[in-house]
Amino acid sequence: MTQAKKTLKERFLHAFLFEILAIGLCAPAAAWAMGKSLFEMGVLTAVIAWIALVWNMIYNAGFDRIENRLGWTRTFRIRVVHAFGFELGLILIVIPLAAWWLSISLWEAFLLDIALVLFYLPYAFFYNLAYDRSRPRVMKWLARGRVEAAPAATSQSPCA
């Protein structure tokens, strides 16, 4: 099966909905589990989502440069190295931030990060599965702006 071509607008909507739903699901559960306020966990999860987005762009650009310079082929092994490197970098950024923001130990922040990863793995799978199934409706919704903006066709006589 070929991969669907996605516009920048669709990619933004996909990522935005992914993060908003994740924060809405994750922040209350984490607040309850950690005994912290919804505000504290909401801000933390939103900041982590933003950091993950920025880190993703930086990491992938750097990895691509290394891959090209060393002549690597995107094998399964390289994909595993890529994924572990991304997660390790994110952990090194997020754990000190979470420990500071929530006034908890680095160990507690590490456990929180593990819990977030365990949440995001199935969440990402099911979110993308649901998105793939609802994509035709999403595309129709995104296209509505183009249809509304298109000039109305006039029924002029060819002789006019």
DSSP classification of residue 158? T
pLDDT band with cut points at 50, 70 and 90 for residue 91: very high
What average pLDDT does this structure show over 155-160?
A: 46
Distance CA 49, CA 51 (A): 5
pTM: 0.70
Q: What pLDDT, on the 0 to 100 scale, is given for residue 150?
A: 53
Nearest to 118 by CA among 20, 30, 16, 58: 30
pLDDT digits (tens, 9 = 90+) for 100-150: 999 999 999 999 999 988 898 899 889 889 988 988 887 888 788 665 555
Write the CA distances from 145 to 9, 140, 148, 150, integer angstroms. Answer: 12, 10, 5, 9
